[in-house]
Amino acid sequence: MTDPLERRDPAANEQPIEEAADPTHGTPASAVADAGDASLLSLIDRLAALLDRSDLTELEIEVGGTGLVLRKPTALAVPVASPAIDASAEPVTPAAASAATATTAPVEARPAVRAPLTGIFYASPAPGSPSYVQVGGEVAVGQVIGLIEAMKLFNEIKSDVAGRVVKIVAESGQLVKAKQPLIEVEPL
């Protein structure tokens, strides 16, 4: 009976050729590396499929000293807006330009408390209990406005602005992304 780690080289008069073996499993190191590579590639494929099915544009994972960042192609594309030039349009006078600018200038957005991380947002400390903040209520800097659950940890989200709550943007129990507005505040 032959050792499973031995191969015979017919050109060398049937002398055994030994491969380096993985000491923990007793299998050839090349087979272990191939199996490890295959499982890593399988994991990457599953993570890429998860990213494709989600609303996320980027997924970053770090285990030990190894890190991996997966991005959707749309996350890398920068939208380019170029104004269309109408050759039949009349020349714009300075007075008309200032009037057009005044009417098309974006309305300044209200200050908002934004999510510092991606996770599930909760508006109250426990199911059935009152929300941390209500529309029309006041918030102070440092006041807890909700919780975000990320990686089985509940993180208190504190307001960085003071004022009256005008709108609660995030829905309790729903996924929020980092930098997404949670509440809008009108400064007092």
Spans of all domains in the chain: 15-76, 112-186
Percent of the chain with pLDDT over 90: 39
Cα–Cα distance, 156 to 158 (Å, whole number): 6
Residue-wise pLDDT for 32-76, tens only, equals 557 777 777 788 888 888 878 888 888 788 777 777 887 877 655
Q: Which residue has the higher pLDDT, 135 or 104?
A: 135
pLDDT surpassing 70 at residue 5: no
The reported pLDDT for the residue numbered 50 is: 82
Going across the sheet that includes 119-122, the strands are 153-158, 144-150, 119-122, 175-176
What proportions of the chain, in percent to the nearest 5, are helix, strand and coil? 25, 30, 45
Neighbours of 137 (CB within 10 A): 12
* Average pLDDT of the chain to the nearest whole number: 75
| Residue 143, amino acid | Q
Token couple for 135? 């529309």
Q: In Å, what is the CA distance from 153 to each residue of 84, 85, 142, 167?
A: 49, 52, 20, 26
- Look up the CATH number of domain 112-186: 2.40.50.100
Secondary structure (3-state) at 21: strand
pTM for the model stands at: 0.46
Tell me the residue type at 97. Answer: A
The C-alpha atoms of residue 180 and residue 155 are separated, in whole angstroms, by 15
E strand spans, 27-89: 58-63, 66-71
